[in-house]
Homo-oligomer: A and B are copies of this chain.
Amino acid sequence: MTIGIVGLGLIGGSIGLALRASRHKLIGCDPNPEHVRVALERGCVDTAAELSEVAKADVVFVAIPPAIVTNVLAEIEQSLGPNTVVTDCTSVKSEIVAWATEQKATWFVPGHPMAGHEKGGPQFASAWLFRNARWILTPVGKSNSNLKVLETLITEMGAKPVRISAEDHDHHVAILSHLPHVLAGQLVLNASELSHVDAAGGSWKDWTRVAGVDPELWSQILLGNRTAVSSALKEFAKELETLATQLDEGDAAAVKKFFVSAAAAKAKLPKNAGDDVTGTKKR
């Protein structure tokens, strides 16, 4: 099978590396020549080509910033092979599903691999990035055969395909990913006035690992999912204020109940939720 990869950054590069073992033909493109060079050198793709050629592959993965995805998909459509299946990797799905529905783009299956890394670029790409991670697909209309082709490739990469609705997906990522990224950022901002940040314990590094993510990408992600993220932020802020009031009132029972409920919720989490799937994480 010929696999096209549009965008040879961390995600696109990792898709290539993860699919290499299955002996597909890997062809990719990226407007950044340095990304192309590194991706070729690291074996993320076999060949670099123009977008119009990559668009003719059997399956095309589009791994580019959210703000330009629909424009690039429209361009891909101009050069599509007769049976080409296209998927994307952007982390917000409602808008793109609305676009695909409007365009009747039956060749397109919106997707989102639930894996990443705080550092971008093909130099950080890893064949293990998607290992044990969920790879969400939010199908538009009837495209069962397209879905099955993608699910096979996703499984080859070591990930687990999951079908859910775009709306459900966006609510999930608001809480499981977008909110925690904001918390990490706000935490380092609050700590920046401290004279002894070096006193922080081991969990501090965990909490703040993703505080330095790419501002352009992450503002696009948050704005793309702004309804769900804003509502998650407001709910979260309200809960923090409730606990602050309980502390002000010295309400020991309420404060203890918070930690009891949290421990119970934590114990009920599936054991593999958020397993480290990068395989490249620096400790």
Decide yes or no whether A23 CB sits under 8 A from chain B: no
> Interface readout for A232-255 with B: 1 if CB under 8 Å, 0 if not?
111111111101110110101001
A274 at the interface (CB under 8 A from B): yes
Contacting A192 at CB < 8 Å: which of B185, B198, B240, B265? B265
Interface size class of A (residues with CB under 8 A): 35 or more
Do A133 and B223 touch across chains, with their CB atoms under 8 A apart? no
Complex Cα distance, B209 from A277, in Å, reads 15
Alpha-carbon gap, A244 to B225, bound state (A): 11
When the two chains form their complex, are residues B259 and A247 in contact, meaning their CB atoms are under 8 A apart?
Answer: no
Contact with B along A206-244 (1 / 0, CB 8 A): 111111111110110011001001111111111111011
B205 close to A207 (CB less than 8 A): no
Flag whether A21 is at the interface (Cβ < 8 A): no
* Interface residues as binary, A260-283 with B (CB distance below 8 Å gives 1, 0 otherwise): 111101111110111111100101
Q: Measured between alpha carbons, how far is A252 from B187 in the docked complex, in Å?
A: 21
Instruction: Give A112's nearest chain B residue, CB to CB.
Output: B199
Q: Smallest distance from the beta carbon of A27 to chain B beta carbons, Å? A: 28
* B252 in contact with A162 (CB, 8 Å): no
CA distance in complex: A133, B177 (Å)? 29
- Contact assessment for A226 and B247 in the assembled complex, using a CB-CB cutoff below 8 Å: yes
Which among A134, A185, A278 has the highest number of chain B CB atoms within 10 Å?
A185
Q: Flag if B209 contacts A206 (CB, 8 Å).
A: yes
* Contacting pair A175 B190 (CB below 8 A): yes
Q: Are B164 and A266 in contact (CB under 8 A)?
A: no
With a CB–CB cut-off of 8 A, which chain B residues contact A133? 201-202
Q: Does A204 contact B (CB under 8 A)?
A: yes
Contacts A172-B194, A241-B237 given; does A263 touch B199 at CB 8 Å: no
Q: A247 and B233: CB pair below 8 A?
A: yes
A40 interface contact, C-beta 8 A: no
Most buried by B among A176, A197, A226: A176
- A173 and B196 alpha carbons, distance in the complex (Å): 10
Q: Which residues of B contact A142 (CB under 8 A)?
A: none
A-B contact pairs, 11 of them (CB 8 A): A114-B201, A182-B258, A185-B261, A192-B265, A202-B275, A211-B263, A211-B265, A212-B267, A214-B263, A230-B245, A231-B244
* Interface positions of A (Cβ within 8 A of B): 114-118, 133-134, 136, 162, 164, 168, 171-173, 175-177, 179-192, 194-216, 218-219, 222-223, 226, 229-241, 243-245, 247-248, 250, 252, 255-256, 258-263, 265-270, 272-278, 281, 283
- Not counting A233-B241, A236-B237, a sample of 13 additional A-B residue pairs whose C-beta atoms are within 8 angstroms of each other reads A134-B196, A168-B196, A175-B187, A175-B190, A176-B191, A176-B201, A177-B201, A180-B187, A184-B203, A189-B265, A200-B273, A211-B266, A223-B252
